[in-house]
């Protein structure tokens, strides 16, 4: 009988004493990683079983299932206990992140069970993001595999400080010490090469139970801890976090009435006491903590991991997404970073496209530049890459639309880890780990000028705007745009027409027609149009601009209401029939790649301010309609 | 420097509070599903803590089947009043009209009152985020569900297409008509719930404590005859000392024989017992993947 079973006696004899013990347990979160056949689910099933987290009815189901679909003959297939969803059971593999719970005398554990299949890097990153420790499983018969390297790299990348190398299925190699040592030496060489300073190797058998909770008589040559002993005693990240400088991201401003204003959030690191001087970033304003409020009464001090509400002695501005720090030890603020990016979506990264970047409670617009390199997670080689596909990991520069407070990921998961969200689908498409801020952003400041954009516009006696025409090639954008400009000129309006083809002869002649280049094309045109509106002009643009995201990006660059989306709506068949420039014929013949409507998509506007149906009106009529709508 | 380690309950509490504050900041119209069970009681208590001294800035919603225990209805009204929160009660009008009940309609009872009723209530009020008290330790398909669980405009859950969820950074963005179900108690176990109720002195429905109650035994379940709608098939209700480990519709919820009248005794019994919590609920007695199917259709 091991330690765990002694618990029963205590529960039966003195429940109050048991509760007292249980109530002071700490919590360890860990992940298990291994390939499909390394015995990962079996290992977790064994931990649950040994810590009595399996109830009798579950055991009955387990026995029945083991006979029906199990892989262990008449024996219990512990893996079935862990593999949850119906579809996965049929495939015989775990395909997502599942969380399991068990507790011993000393700790409560949350295990993230993450898949070993190559296409599911994102799931492992998800599981690793909240873990203090990773158990890397190796099949003793197979040794260090590609997957072993990948899992170790990911665990290390995601900032897991404690790695356990569980060399499993020792029973199947006769508990051979020499084989164990060979695997260990090979792994150590690899670990050092990617910067893993330390790890804990343990020879085990999940199936037979060796060195799981009790020291195995089969491995007398091994004098380290059992897996469970190690899990129960390893240092928690949270303990370390408390010793770092104080940081708290504000989630919510608590304002029940005029007399109370508090800032609610979870303390990311360090500790804070009443009377401490604090600084709010990015504003840099300082104050003093006047109260630490909780429903259980005010606290004198709060530590990393606690969710609290802080009150300041002074009325300074502070809102969601800002960071409260120790006054004499603030975090950095920047709008350009180098970061590792893990891509998690079927649609690949489009460099230059704006995504939502969410760092804790803070959401900003951000673009990812073309990756500096992509990491081959099997060989750790750096490869050149124009983009990132699903499950790819690369290093790239990120630019946000405003300055944000942050910390390098290796110092703080909360302040250095962000997710990227597609603005159209709202899916979480990537995760990023900030390395450092780029100096450029810090050293270039916005120069204030005395003649304002209002002044420029006032001199021209007009309201600047951007008339953004979008539509397929051959839809009539340039023709209509030209007519609109002529009519406006006759009305003494100061205008400028930016035409797609013309811009590609100069400003954008270095760009091609890949998705990334199309995004950059529109970004530059947007920036130019913005300068022109600052100069007070009415800007008319004629670009296919096939992607909604980029049209929205340009809209976001402009002052509210200045961007007018005009959809020149000509069906593909009609545009192809006209084929003024002979481009559709070339595209159909395969001589022209990435042609919108043929082998590159056109995302029609969902709610354009003006829609021109070219089948029902002439270009003249269209131009008149646009002007009538804009200038009453 | 020596500081104090947070206990696992303190960490779970902080996590739940963090999640609730995120939802309130990101959603347009959040609501808390309140089923009056012990998990709901803990969730409500955490909501009070998360926003103190403000009251929780969202209403409570009870999707009622009309077949809950009488004790549950009285605690429901009292708890909402004490928290200073609005209580919305929804009863599926189609089920009311057709007189759907657990005795005559089997699976249809859960489907119409709970699954359909929930969807109706969320659509009716336009809630775009709903807190639920589900825990990952309850059942296998729950173990894989995200804390912020995305639902399509028709309330479907797609287990193959869940958003990755990293750190404590949650993506709550969605298009109009789509919604999130949010589970702040995801990482709690049954023991954690009981222990927390004990430590925080949270009021729960008296049915969780053992008492002499009128019962009949049917299909292996010990059922309590809570009112005269219970059709007796020649059975004579027998007084037994029973309590409930989980509370649902009284004709579907099996009791256990027990003498546990205090929380430590309940916890003691729970720890020494050998059957898992949901066994008391008839809903889970079909095939292994039943819950996953129900969830895909919109069941909480």
pLDDT in tens, A528-571: 999 999 999 999 999 998 888 889 889 988 888 899 999 999 99
Q: What pLDDT is stored for residue A92 in this prediction?
A: 46
What pLDDT is attached to residue A4?
42
* C-beta of residue B180 within 8 angstroms of C-beta of residue B151: yes
Query: By the CB < 8 Å criterion, does B54 face chain A?
Result: yes
Residue B122 belongs to a domain: yes
Give pLDDT tens digits for A319-345: 999 999 999 999 999 999 999 999 999
Same domain, B177 and B74: yes
Do A426 and B173 lie within an 8 Å CB cutoff? yes
- Residues A143-186 have pLDDT tens digits of 898 888 888 999 999 999 999 999 999 999 999 999 999 999 99
Contact B21, A264 (CB under 8 A): yes
**What is residue A66's predicted lDDT score, i.e. its pLDDT?**
63
Greater pLDDT, A193 or A447: A193
B182 & B242 share domain: no
- C-alpha distances in angstroms, B213 versus A398, B245, B282? 65, 15, 20
Contact with chain A for residue B290, Cβ under 8 A: no
Whether B3 is covered by a domain: the verdict is: no
The CA R_g of chain B, rounded to the nearest whole Å, is 19
Q: What was the pLDDT predicted at A5?
A: 43
Are B127 and B13 in the same domain?
Answer: yes
Per-residue pLDDT, A79 = 64
Active site members of A: 545
> Is A8 in contact with B8 (Cβ distance < 8 A)?
no
Six-digit token string for A611:
């829609």
Average pLDDT of span A402-425: 93
CA pair distance A360, A412, nearest whole angstrom = 11
Burial class (CB in 10 A: 0-12, 13-18, 19+), A513: middle
Given pLDDT bands bounded at 50, 70 and 90, which one contains residue A86?
A: very low
Residues B92/B120, Cβ–Cβ less than 8 Å: yes
Residue-wise pLDDT tens digits, A587-609: 888 888 888 888 888 999 988 99
Q: Does A527 have pLDDT greater than 80? A: yes
- Whether residue B164 and residue A123 make contact (CB cut-off 8 A), yes or no, is yes
What pLDDT, on the 0 to 100 scale, is given for residue B46? 97
Q: Are residues B16 and B70 located together in one domain of the fold?
A: yes
A341 burial level (CB within 10 Å; 0-12, 13-18, 19+): buried
Paired strand residues for B180: B129, B150
Rounded to whole angstroms, how far apart are CA atoms A48 and A390?
Answer: 33
Six-digit token pair at B47? 């909501």
CA–CA min distance B96, chain A (Å): 34
Name the domain count of chain B.
2
* Interface predicted TM-score (ipTM): 0.87
CATH T-level topology, domain A3-235? Rossmann fold (3.40.50)
Q: What percent of chain A has pLDDT over 90?
A: 47
Whether residues B60 and B188 fall in one domain? yes
| CATH code of the domain covering residue B33 | 3.40.50.620
Residues of chain B with pLDDT under 50: 1-2, 278-279, 281-289
**Would B197 be classed as within a structural domain?**
no
Which of B30, B84, B167 to substitute to test the interface with A, most A CBs within 10 Å?
B167
Shared domain for B57 and B114, answered yes or no, is: yes
Q: Domain coordinates of chain A in residue numbers?
A: 3-235, 241-326, 332-442, 453-630
Contact: A129, B167; criterion CB under 8 Å: yes
| Chain A interface includes B190 (CB < 8 A) | no
DSSP reduced 3-state for A82: helix
Domain of B181 in residue numbering reads as: 8-192+289-297
Q: Is residue B247 within 8 angstroms of chain A, CB to CB? A: no
Q: Based on the domain organization, do B15 and B157 belong to the same domain? A: yes
Read off the pLDDT band of A395 (50, 70, 90): very high
Three-state DSSP at A216 gives coil
Domains A241-326 and A453-630 share a fold: no
Query: Which ranges of A491-534 does DSSP label H, i.e. alpha helix?
Result: 500-503, 515-534
In this structure, CATH architecture of domain A332-442:
Beta Barrel (2.40)
Q: Is residue B276 part of a domain?
A: yes
Domain presence at residue B199:
no
Cβ–Cβ below 8 Å for B50 and A359: no
pLDDT tens readout for residues B9-39: 999 999 999 999 999 999 999 999 999 999 9
pLDDT, tens digit, 9 for 90 and up, residues A440-454 = 545 455 566 778 888
Helices (H), A118-226: 121-129, 146-157, 177-193
Give the CATH architecture of domain A453-630: 3-Layer(aba) Sandwich (3.40)
Residue B242: inside a domain: yes
d(CA A34, CA A389) in angstroms, rounded, equals: 23
Query: How far is the alpha carbon of B58 from chain A, nearest alpha carbon, in Å?
Result: 14
Residues B225 and B111 in one domain: no
Shared domain check, B253 and B137? no
* Residue B106 and residue B174 in one domain: yes
Chain B residues lying within 8 Å of A303, measured CB to CB? 3-4, 6
Query: What is the SS3 assignment for A142?
Result: coil
Say what the pLDDT of residue B41 is: 95
Partners of residue B281 on adjacent β-strands: B253
Does B222 share its domain with B175?
no
Give mean pLDDT, residues A449-462.
83
**Beta bridge mates, A36:** none
Q: What angle do CA A154, A199, A390 make, to 5 degrees?
A: 5
Q: Please tell me whether residues B15 and B77 are part of one structural domain.
A: yes
Buried b / exposed e over A127-161, threshold 16 CB at 10 Å, is bbbbbbbbbbbbbbeeebbebbbbbbbbbbbbbbb
Q: Strand pairing partners for A395? A: A340, A373
Residue B95 covered by a domain: yes
pLDDT per residue over A224-271, tens digit each?
Answer: 999 999 999 988 888 888 889 999 999 999 999 989 999 999 999 999
Which pLDDT score is estimated for A71?
58
In CATH terms, A241-326 corresponds, of 2.102.10.10, 3.30.450.40, 3.90.1200.10, 2.40.30.10, to 2.40.30.10
The Cα A220–Cα A177 span in angstroms is 10
B9, B164, B289: residue with CB nearest A428 = B164
Spatial separation of the C-alpha atoms in residues A314 and A310, rounded to whole Å: 12
How do strand B179-182 and strand B129-131 relate by DSSP bridges? Answer: parallel
Q: pLDDT value at position B267?
A: 84
Residue A107 has pLDDT above 60, yes or no: yes
Report if residue B74 sits inside a domain: yes
The pLDDT of residue A188: 93
Pairing between β-strand A495-499 and β-strand A277-281 as defined by DSSP bridges:
unpaired
Q: What is the pLDDT at residue A94?
A: 46
Tell me which of A14 and A468 has the higher pLDDT: A468
pLDDT of residue B143: 73
């Amino acid at each position: 009988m091991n330690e765990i079973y002694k618990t029963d006696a205590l529960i039966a004899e003195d429940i109050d004493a048991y509760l007292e013990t249980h109530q002071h347990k700490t919590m360890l979160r860990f992940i298990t990683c291994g390939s499909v056949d390394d015995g990962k689910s079996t290992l977790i099933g064994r931990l649950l079983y040994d810590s009595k987290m399996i109830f009798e009815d579950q055991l009955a189901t387990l026995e029945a299932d083991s006979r029906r679909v199990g892989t262990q003959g008449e024996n219990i297939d512990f893996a079935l206990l862990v593999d949850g969803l119906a579809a996965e059971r049929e495939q015989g593999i775990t395909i997502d992140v599942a969380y399991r719970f068990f507790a011993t005398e000393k700790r409560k554990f949350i295990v993230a069970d993450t898949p070993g299949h190559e296409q599911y890097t994102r799931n492992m990153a998800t599981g690793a993001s909240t873990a203090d420790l990773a158990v890397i499983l190796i099949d003793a018969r197979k040794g260090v595999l590609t997957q072993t390297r990948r899992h170790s790299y990911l665990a290390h990348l995601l900032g897991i400080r404690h790695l356990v190398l569980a060399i499993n299925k020792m029973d199947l190699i006769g508990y051979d010490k020499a084989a164990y040592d060979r695997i260990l030496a090979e792994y150590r060489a690899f670990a050092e090469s990617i910067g893993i300073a330390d790890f804990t190797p343990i020879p085990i058998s999940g199936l037979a139970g060796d060195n799981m909770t009790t020291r195995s008589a089969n491995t007398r040559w091994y004098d380290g801890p059992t897996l469970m002993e190690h899990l129960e005693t390893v240092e928690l990240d949270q303990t370390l976090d408390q010793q770092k400088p104080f940081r708290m991201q504000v989630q919510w401003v608590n304002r029940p009435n005029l007399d109370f204003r508090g800032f609610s959030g979870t303390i990311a690191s360090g500790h804070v006491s009443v009377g401490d001087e604090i600084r709010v970033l990015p504003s840099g304003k300082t104050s003093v903590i006047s109260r630490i409020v909780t429903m259980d009464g005010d606290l004198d001090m709060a530590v990393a991991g606690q969710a609290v509400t802080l009150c300041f002695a002074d009325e300074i501005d502070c809102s969601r997404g800002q960071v409260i720090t120790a006054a004499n030890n603030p975090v950095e603020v920047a709008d350009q970073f180098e970061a590792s990016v893990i891509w998690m979506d079927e649609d690949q990264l489009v460099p230059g496209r704006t995504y939502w970047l969410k760092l804790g409670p803070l959401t900003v617009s951000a673009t990812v530049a073309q990756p500096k390199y992509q990491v081959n997670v099997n060989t750790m080689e750096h490869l050149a890459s124009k983009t990132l596909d699903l499950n790819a990991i690369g290093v790239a520069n990120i630019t946000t639309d405003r300055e944000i407070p942050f910390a390098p990921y290796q110092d703080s998961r909360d302040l250095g880890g962000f997710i990227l969200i597609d603005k159209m689908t709202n899916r979480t498409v990537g995760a990023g780990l900030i390395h450092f801020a780029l100096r450029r952003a810090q050293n270039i400041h916005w120069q204030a000028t005395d003649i304002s954009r209002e002044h420029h516009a006032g001199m021209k006696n007009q309201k600047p705007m951007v008339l953004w025409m979008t539509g397929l090639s051959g839809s009539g954008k340039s023709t209509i745009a030209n007519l609109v400009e002529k009519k406006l000129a006759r009305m003494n309006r100061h205008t400028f027409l930016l035409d797609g083809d013309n811009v590609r002869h100069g400003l954008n002649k270095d760009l091609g027609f890949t998705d990334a280049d199309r995004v950059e094309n529109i970004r530059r045109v947007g920036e130019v149009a913005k300068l022109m509106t600052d100069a007070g002009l009415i800007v008319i643009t004629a670009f296919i601009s096939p992607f909604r995201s980029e049209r929205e990006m340009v809209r976001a660059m402009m002052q509210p209401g200045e961007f007018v989306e005009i959809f020149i709506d000509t069906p593909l068949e009609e545009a192809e029939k006209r084929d003024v420039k002979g481009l559709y014929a070339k595209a159909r013949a395969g001589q022209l790649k990435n042609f919108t409507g043929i082998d590159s998509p056109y995302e029609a506007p969902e709610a354009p301010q003006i829609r021109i149906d070219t089948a029902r009106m002439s270009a003249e009529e269209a131009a008149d309609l646009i002007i009538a709508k804009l200038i009453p | 420097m020596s500081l104090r380690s947070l206990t696992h309950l303190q960490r779970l509490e902080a996590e739940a509070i963090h999640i609730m504050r995120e939802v309130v900041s990101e959603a347009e119209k959040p609501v808390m599903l309140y089923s009056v069970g012990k998990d709901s009681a803990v969730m409500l208590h955490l909501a009070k803590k998360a926003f103190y001294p403000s009251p929780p800035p969202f209403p409570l919603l009870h999707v009622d089947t009309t077949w809950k225990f009488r004790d549950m209805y009285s605690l429901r009204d009292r708890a909402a009043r004490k928290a200073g929160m609005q209580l919305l009660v929804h009863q599926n009008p189609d089920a009311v009209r057709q007189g759907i009940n657990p005795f005559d309609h089997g699976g249809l009872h859960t489907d119409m009152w709970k699954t359909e009723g929930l969807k109706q209530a969320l659509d009716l009020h336009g809630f775009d985020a709903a807190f639920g008290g589900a825990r990952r330790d309850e059942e296998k398909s729950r173990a894989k569900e995200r804390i912020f669980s995305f639902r399509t405009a028709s309330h479907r859950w797609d287990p193959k297409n869940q958003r990755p969820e990293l750190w404590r950074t949650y993506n709550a963005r969605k298009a109009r008509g789509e919604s999130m179900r949010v589970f702040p108690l995801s990482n709690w176990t049954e023991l954690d719930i009981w222990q927390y109720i004990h430590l925080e002195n949270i009021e729960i429905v008296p049915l969780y404590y053992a008492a002499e109650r009128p019962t009949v035994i049917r299909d292996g379940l010990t059922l309590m005859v809570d009112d005269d709608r219970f059709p007796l098939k020649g059975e004579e209700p027998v007084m037994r000392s029973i309590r409930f480990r989980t509370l649902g519709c009284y004709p579907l919820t099996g009791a256990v024989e027990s003498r546990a009248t205090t929380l430590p005794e309940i916890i003691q019994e729970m720890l020494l017992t050998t059957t898992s919590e949901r066994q008391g609920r008839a809903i889970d007695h079909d095939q292994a993947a039943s819950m996953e199917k129900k969830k895909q259709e919109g069941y909480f």
